[in-house]
Structure formats: structure tokens, C-alpha cells
Chains A and B, each alone.
Chain A
Amino acid sequence: MKLLVAGLDSAPPDLLFSRFIDDLPNIKKLLSESIYGPMKSSIPAITIPAWMCMATGKTPGELGLYGFRHRKKNDYKDIWIAHSLTVKEKTVWDYLGEKGYKSIAIGIPPSYPPRKINGIMVGCFITPDSSVNYTYPQNVKGEIERVVGDYIFDVVFRKDERDEVKEKIWEMTEKRFELIRHFIQTQDWDLLWFVEIGLDRIHHAFWKYFDENHHLHEPNSRYKNVIPDYYKLLDRELGKTLKMLDEDTAVMIVSDHGIKAMKGCFAVNQWMIDEGLLKAEYGNGVRKFEQLNVKWDETIAWSWGGYYARVFLNVKGREKKGVVRLSEYEKIRDDVAEKIKSIRGPEGEKWRTEVYYPEELYPIANGDKPDIMVYFDNLSWRSAGTVGWESYYLLENDTGPDDAVHSQYGVFSLKMPGVEAGKIAECEIYDVTPTILKMFGIKADLMGRSLV
């Protein structure tokens, strides 16, 4: 048994399984021979930690990873960025390696710096650039450069250079698949798992041109087919790749989360200032949270922006100038959470806002966790940490790409010899590692279940 895992960052079930499927002959054929269905992601549904939740079978709380950045020792400003060494739990390639199985792991976030495995590891998009060592073993880097030239880890969205961004993403994806096919042909492997980040970047950068219901939709834009065209590119590249596999090789498609239209951005810190939770003044003009003169000794809570909001309470004895006493912590946290849940949309419409407490959400909440995690209107509204806006409701993002936000459900499919094709009603990101381990006959005590 061999297994190829195709990780398509942010692939949503509705586009991959339904809307685009008739234009994707290779994926359509594969699905007709697979078990497949929507897969519930981790909370938060974000690239880091979601891929590692998938590859370890552990929750963000157990991993101590709640996003790309974390507070350093409860500091108000200092942060650390997640990287491969911050993952302490065993990954599926670690389990396989112990049994002598060889793995090739390409671009699975976070995989910089590359870690020693029984096989090959190639760094993901948090690799600073191609001048550093981004492979294990080290000499694979030279091989990659001989095969594809300058390897591309990621393409960053830039508003005014969309054509260039598009071209570069195409080039990145073609190079990635060329490398994958090179490894398939030249290496000895049992598991080959790659993540293509290009799909996520394409979704975020071009969503409004394709989605007629998006509030910033531009009909008949020359970019309207970029997203469907990129799916066709993936289908072609995947098709060429699948041709190289023998009948005994199982094929899995997975995504770390889904994607949907962004309705806007909610200026959460500005709201907190007006509610008296955060003591700072803002005048006209947009400012970053870091530029504010915060009166910490009068502040109860503040927040980080992003796809979801991380709210921190200013706790006495934990934060340098904390004011919330431990004896009042639960009550104040509940009060803040209730206030957040009662926030309505720009037209006074009710939002489906979800709030979570890390230690209730996970079996254990390690590391530098927030006190409250918030999905504004079920993730349709991002949160902005910046302040000084005319309104709390921003129709465009305050940072980064404009058009799309994450959704809770990604995809899962598996074609495996001896397993009858059919739809799966529901599965979770935590089921992937138990499924792979079962396929290789390895036992481990994990919360998820095997899907085969």
C-alpha cells in the first residue's frame, strides 16, 4: 500500500464537489472511485494550526497553536511566529517512520525549518526565501533546483499587480507538481503528502470577480474566470500525476478549511474602546493597535484581528499591568463574551457570532492561548485590530487580501483498493491521521476515528 495525499489549501466542498466538478475530469473520475464528503476543520479554521491538526490528530489546544502568531509570555506586544519546531506532537510521518515506512512531506505548514524524517521534507510558505536550507536531507535542495529552477514557496497578494500575482501562482503550482512527479518517479516512498497553497491565494485574491453575490463583485471583469481556470489547472496537474501511480496506490484529497465570501471587517478594538473595555483614545485617521497609547492599568480586554478574533483579558498577576482579579475572571469573561455575541451587523441584522473558551473547546489548552476566540457572524466578518475608522463595519479588509474568508468545512476524499466508493455524511480533520495509520496497520490512541 502506498498513499498520495493531495492537500489543496482552502478547497471548499461546494466548489470542488459540485459547482466546478464537470470541468474537472480527472478529479471527477477520482471521486467516482472514492469515499468523499465535507470535512469539519479545527477551530480556528486557519492554515496554522489546521494542517498540523490533520497531520497529528491533535487539537490546537494540545498543540498549543492558535494561529500564526502568539503572545510571548503574556506580553502586550511581543509575539512569536509558529514554525515546525513548535509542533511537539507526533505527526503521521513520525508514526510511519518508526515502522520503517518512508514519507515525502512537501509544504505542509508549518514545515520550516525542515525536520528530520524517514524520507524527505520540503519547507512550506513560512520559509523565509529560497536562499536558506529548506529541505531534509539538505542535498535535496540542489536536486529541486535542478528539476524546477528557483522553487516558489508562496505568492503574496498585491492589489495593483493582479496579473503578475496570477502568473506567479500558476508558475508556483506547475513547479510544485513537476517536483511531485519527479519524486514519484525517482524516490522510494510509502506516503507522499503535499500541500498546494496556491488555491488559497487564488481564492483570496480573486473571489469578488467570480462570486456574483459578493458585495464588491465586478461583473464581466477580465479576472472572472481566474478561480475556475485555476481549478482546471489543478485538475490537469493532478491528472498527469495520478497517471504515474499504480493501481495499488491510494489517493486522498484533503483541505485544511473551506472558503466563502467576506462580508466585511469588524473593527473590534475600536468597539472595545467605545464599550469601555479598552482604555485608549483614537481620533480621526486609521491607526494600528500597536500605535495606540493604551492605558493598561484601566484596560479590561483587547483583541487581535484576523480571520477570527483573539480576545485577551488583562489579568492581575498574569499581565504586567493586569486589572482583572482571578476571582472575577470567569464572570468578566462571560460578560465580555455576552457583549460580543450581542453585536449586530451594519443594518442591525442579527449575526451568528460564535465565542469559544479554549479550555472548554479542547481536552487541554496549552501554550499562549487567548481568553476568548470569536467567529464574527460565523467567520463571514473578519476582525480588524486597527482603530480610527468612521464605522465599526469596513467593507474592505484593513490588511491583506480583500475578498474571501475561511469557512469551517473543507474536503476529504479517499480512493483505496478494496474500499467501495460513496459519500461520507460527515468527518472531521481529526479523522485523517487515524485513517492513514489504519491504512498502514499502525495503532495509536487518538480522538478521531478511521474512515476506512
Chain B
Amino acid sequence: MADEVEVKIPRDVYDKIEERIRDTEFSSVDEYVTYVLREVLASLEEEEEKVFTEEEEEKVKERLRALGYLD
């Protein structure tokens, strides 16, 4: 088991999650909370990594194509 720490969440949230994961593949509230937080963090990271505007990305792609890196 990986190194773990405890986090406190309000009882009503806990109860709602417990209800939600009944009869699903999640075996515990901990597992579900970890899953959701990982998803949220990953999508935040993805958002932060949008460094090119659409126009800039097209410009870069066009250049990479001309240089033979993209087909």
C-alpha cells in the first residue's frame, strides 16, 4: 500500500459518496475521493498546459510540417 495520509471531509459529503458508490466498482469512500481528486488535478494540469492560442498552435504546426516533423 502506498504511503497514505488522512484528510477530513464533512459528514454529509461522506454520506452522499457512500450512497453514490453503492453497487459500483468503488470499494470505499477513500477510493472514490482519491479517484475524483486525481481526475480534477489532471484536468487542471491539462488546462494550465494550454500554452498556445489556436492561431499560435496552427502557426507552430505549419512550421513543424514544413520542417518535416509532422505529416
A84 to B48, CA, bound (A): 12
Chain A residue numbers with a CB within 8 Å of B68 are 157, 204, 306-307, 382, 397, 399-401
A158 at the interface (CB under 8 A from B): yes
A224 to B10, CA, bound (A): 75
Q: Which of B48, B60, B69 has the most CB of A within 10 A?
A: B69
Chain B residue numbers with a CB within 8 Å of A158 are 66
Contact of A385 with B59 in the complex, beta carbons under 8 Å: no
Q: Mark A242-267, 1 if CB is under 8 A from B, else 0.
A: 00000000000000000000000000
A129-B59, A399-B65 as given contacts; A306 in contact with B71, CB under 8 Å? yes
A154 at the interface (CB under 8 A from B): yes
Contact of B71 with A305 in the complex, beta carbons under 8 Å: yes
A85-B51, A113-B51 as given contacts; A398 in contact with B71, CB under 8 Å? yes
Contact of A399 among B49, B57, B60, B71 (CB under 8 A): B71
Contact of A304 with B69 in the complex, beta carbons under 8 Å: no
Contact of B56 with A304 in the complex, beta carbons under 8 Å: no
Chain A residue numbers with a CB within 8 Å of B49 are 83, 85-86
Contact of B64 with A157 in the complex, beta carbons under 8 Å: no
User: 10 smallest A-B Cβ distances: which pairs?
Assistant: A400-B68, A305-B71, A128-B56, A385-B71, A156-B66, A68-B69, A128-B59, A85-B49, A113-B51, A399-B71
Contact of B70 among A68, A86, A126 (CB under 8 A): A68
Contact of A69 among B52, B59, B66, B70 (CB under 8 A): B70
A69-B70, A305-B71, A400-B69 as given contacts; A83 in contact with B64, CB under 8 Å? no
A75 to B33, CA, bound (A): 27
A171 to B16, CA, bound (A): 65
Interface residues of B in 36-71 (CB under 8 A from A): 48-49, 51-52, 56-57, 59-61, 63-71
Contact of B71 with A384 in the complex, beta carbons under 8 Å: yes
Chain A residue numbers with a CB within 8 Å of B56 are 128, 132
A433 at the interface (CB under 8 A from B): no
A46 to B71, CA, bound (A): 15
Cβ distance B11 to chain A, nearest Cβ, rounded Å: 36
Interface residues of A in 72-95 (CB under 8 A from B): 81, 83-86
Chain B residues touching A, majority SS: helix
Q: How many residues of B contact A (CB 8 A)?
A: 18
A81-B60, A85-B51 as given contacts; A306 in contact with B70, CB under 8 Å? yes
Contact of A156 with B52 in the complex, beta carbons under 8 Å: no
Q: Mark A83-110, 1 if CB is under 8 A from B, else 0.
A: 1111000000000000000000000000
Cβ distance B41 to chain A, nearest Cβ, rounded Å: 14
Nearest residue, chain B, Cβ from A204: B68
Given known contacts A69-B69, A201-B67, A399-B71, what 16 new A-B pairs fall within 8 Å (CB)? A68-B64, A68-B69, A83-B49, A83-B51, A128-B52, A128-B59, A154-B67, A156-B66, A156-B67, A158-B66, A204-B67, A289-B71, A306-B70, A385-B71, A399-B70, A401-B68
User: Mind listing 25 A-B residue pairs with CB under 8 Å?
Assistant: A47-B69, A67-B69, A68-B69, A68-B70, A85-B49, A86-B49, A113-B51, A126-B60, A126-B64, A128-B59, A129-B59, A156-B66, A156-B67, A157-B66, A201-B67, A204-B67, A289-B71, A304-B71, A306-B68, A382-B68, A386-B71, A397-B68, A399-B66, A399-B68, A400-B67
Interface residues of A in 380-435 (CB under 8 A from B): 382, 384-386, 397-401
Chain A residue numbers with a CB within 8 Å of B66 are 156-158, 399-400
Chain A residue numbers with a CB within 8 Å of B63 are 125, 154, 156
Cβ distance B68 to chain A, nearest Cβ, rounded Å: 3
Chain B residue numbers with a CB within 8 Å of A126 are 60, 64
A344 at the interface (CB under 8 A from B): no
Seen from chain A, the residues whose Cβ lies within 8 Å of a Cβ on chain B are 46-47, 67-69, 81, 83-86, 112-113, 125-126, 128-129, 132, 154, 156-158, 201, 204, 288-289, 304-307, 382, 384-386, 397-401
Nearest residue, chain A, Cβ from B66: A156
Chain A residue numbers with a CB within 8 Å of B60 are 81, 126, 128
Contact of B57 with A400 in the complex, beta carbons under 8 Å: no
Contact of A81 with B67 in the complex, beta carbons under 8 Å: no
Cβ distance A132 to chain B, nearest Cβ, rounded Å: 7
A293 to B31, CA, bound (A): 42
Chain A residue numbers with a CB within 8 Å of B48 are 85
Chain B residue numbers with a CB within 8 Å of A47 are 69
Chain B residue numbers with a CB within 8 Å of A46 are 69
A430 to B17, CA, bound (A): 47
Chain A residue numbers with a CB within 8 Å of B52 are 81, 83, 128
